[in-house]
Amino acid sequence: MNHQEVLNLVTLKSGKLDVHKMMNELQLSSTEEFIRLNKMLNELEDEAEIVRNSKDCYCLLKDLNMYKGVLSVNRKGFGFVDLDDISIFIPARNMETAMNQDEVVVQRTIFPDGTAEGRVVRILKRNTSVLVGTFKGSRQLHFEPDGIHRDAWVRIKNQSMFQVVPGTKAIAKILRYGEPIVAEVTELLGHENDPGMDITSVLLAHGIPMEFPEAVHMQMKSFDYHVTIKQKEGRKDLTDQLIVTIDGADAKDLDDAISLVKTETGYCLGVHIADVSSYVEENTPLDLEARERGTSVYVVDRVVPMLPPFLSNGLCSLNPHVERLTVSCEMNIDEQGKVIDAQLFPSVIKTSYRLTYEGVNRVLDEQEEEKDEKLKQMLFLMKECAQKVRAQRYEKGAIDFERDEAKILVNEEGNPVDIVSRVRGEAERIIEDFMILANESVANHTKWLEIPSLYRVHEAPDAEKIRHLSGMTRVLGYIIKGSAQSIHPSVLQKCLEWFKDQESFPVISAMMLRSMSKARYDAKCLGHFGLGLEEYTHFTSPIRRYPDLVVHRMLHKYSFQGELDLTKRLNDEILLEEIGITSSRAERRAVEAERDVEDMKKAEYMESFIGTVHEGIISGVTQYGLYVQLENTVEGLVRVRTMEDDHYFFDSDSYSLMGNTTGNVYRIGDKVKIKVLSADKKKREIDFILLKKQKKSPKRQRLEKEKQAWKKKRRSH
């Protein structure tokens, strides 16, 4: 008898067996066996694999509408537990003492009107152990946590031991959870008005470490400054090839390089990736720290790297004219853009040029002449090849969201001075096309050779979210065809193409992106819905992503070195499942931190524009107001209570706010004029007020009123 046998029995007869009936089912009789079974059941309960019902019979969690997962808390106080097939909404009143990123068990209740919500019934693991905050007040100072824990009541046990003044930032270790949270200060960070302190506070509040431990620094001392002769043994020497990197002008961690030549059958594309795994050996201090960090974090004025700069910007970075260790994926591509075959091998390269997106775009747009004729020919050949590869990807159903990303420009003090949209030119698309192709080729290689590996998984979207998206697009004139339960990515691709040249395109693109499942890492190859691919992994960024580093490590062990030990294989498969979970969690943490910093800096920027008038597009409609996005990607809320020209109600059929008397209607995608009412950097919120909409003709008003009356009548039935 083992844990799996007991769990299998509960799965088979969930809710029907108590411990005594289980004894009979398992044909057990002795007191010793009874004690052992009880212990196993208690352990499975502790791990939230099973639960007891009111009759003391054992059930699977889902049979009692219970689920376990990681709680993500919103700044407004509510949260979600995201599972593979469902996202459970948790109102603030149902949180108990759970905090952001805690592992919890929730019970889901579905109400008669079809809405559902969850309640935290058990906290399995606390993942918030420290708070970053500010001392506030005048005579009696109190500790106010940053971000999502802002409203928590915190009592600092050792406050008298520190010289603090209003505005002092500190890190506090939690000693006891609940109301109040009891904590003690472990470090003073400085004053909240110190340059860069705002971003540092956000990063620390999300648990992103700013410094590397001493053990990592000690390990760094063992590395040579250059590639050694011994390191080059067994590697293919590509140092005589024309190989280039293409990155942003400010990038320092260059982990991918490209070579391309024309062949009789098409093209030979080489994607050469920094071989970080040759430096970051398994279970060393450097590896364990990289695994904990999971990813580099990129915020407005800095990078918090996964690896120390000595490696990320130096020894592993594919800087020009120096030898670097790489893993190469060499693909033969036909004239139609299909990969005929691909070879993977360890290599050593010496990049010829460090190119920038901006510079390559100028050459391809013929705004600038490239003096090196061979380089110029290769750049135009890359454009030709990438366009064919891209066409193949779109044929498979890949969705290109093409969202505008904000680039926030700051001065030396860290204050935002401008917000612009990042321009995505042909050079950016070329690199994206080639990296996706390499990732697909590597995933195909590891899957069919059954090599233990990690995959980038993006599953089909939830049917309810697709129905919601379909309702919105229908209002704007486009009907999404097909079943919401089995939607194909090409259907969504066609929808985006229809909106391509319309002002509402950025809004529809963002809404569609929010409708997607969250991409994650998994030891099983489950496909990538958004790219329309059956096999996909992350192989191309091992300097900044731990899963890529692990993929390289597995390639070395099982593909290049031919490891055959079944025990090692089994252990790696178990480890990869765990790494998939922790890496996905680290990625979410980084994304949330990056988003919080961006929201904070946007709000800070808009503080200088209070009272100014702008044009924007309605990007969201809710019962409490309209979200309006400006041309520079800043989004603010127009609250219903500020719309004083009429009494507005939310129409769920048309996703719009409708005026009772004026006939005014505000829908997603509408262009409107707003005035900036307020901006709060600390709350990361921006409020607009709507400038009066031009009155409609009496005939239009009458038609709108008749339509509203009809809708109200239909709802009443």
Concatenating the DSSP letter of every residue in 276-328 gives: GGGTS-TTSHHHHHHHHH-B-EEETTEEE-SS-HIIIIIISS--TTSEEEEEE
CATH architecture of 65-125: Beta Barrel (2.40)
pTM of the model: 0.85
CATH match of 130-211 with 2.40.50.640: yes
Return d(Cα 6, Cα 614) in angstroms, integer.
64
Annotated domain spans of the chain: 3-59, 65-125, 130-211, 243-459+517-600, 610-716
d(CA 334, CA 387): 13
CATH of domain 610-716: 2.40.50.140
pLDDT value at residue 651: 85
Rounded to whole angstroms, the Cα distance separating 14 from 142 reads 50
Could you give the 3-state DSSP secondary structure of residue 678?
Answer: strand
pLDDT bucket at 128, cuts 50 / 70 / 90: confident
- Helices 505-515 and 463-475 sit at what angle, rounded to 10 degrees? 170
Q: Is the pLDDT of residue 460 over 60?
A: yes
Compute the distance between CA of residue 204 and CA of residue 188 in angstroms, rounded to an integer.
12
Q: How far apart are CA 533 and CA 553, in angstroms?
A: 23
Please tell me which of 127-136, 196-205, 332-341 the model is most confident about, judged by mean pLDDT: 332-341
Average pLDDT, the chain: 90
Report the Cα 370 to chain-centroid distance in Å: 38
- The tens digit of pLDDT for each residue in 51-80 reads 998 899 999 998 899 999 989 888 778 899
pLDDT at residue 699 tops 70: no
Instruction: Answer whether residue 562 shows pLDDT above 70.
Output: yes
Residue 217: CA count within 13 A, CB half-sphere: 4
Angle at 703 between CA 701 and CA 708, to 5 degrees: 95
Higher local confidence (pLDDT), 644 or 269: 269
Ordered DSSP codes for 113-173: TS-EEEEEEEEEE----EEEEEEE-SSS-EEEE-GGGTT--EEETTGGGS---TTEEEEEE
* pLDDT 10s digits, 360-398: 999 999 988 888 999 999 999 999 999 999 999 998 888
The radius of gyration of the chain from alpha carbons, rounded to an integer in Å, stands at 28
Give one word for 214, left, alpha or beta, with left for phi > 0 and alpha for psi -120 to 50.
alpha
Question: Can you give the pLDDT at residue 198?
Answer: 93
Cis geometry, peptide bond prior to residue 180 (ω within 30 degrees of 0)? yes
Q: What is the pLDDT of residue 477?
A: 85
Query: What separation in angstroms does the CA of 454 have from each of 93, 442, 444, 523, 565?
Result: 38, 11, 12, 5, 19
In sequence order, the β-bridge partners of residue 667 are 656
65-125 and 610-716 in the same fold: yes
pLDDT at 711: 53
How confident is the model over 438-442, as a mean pLDDT? 97
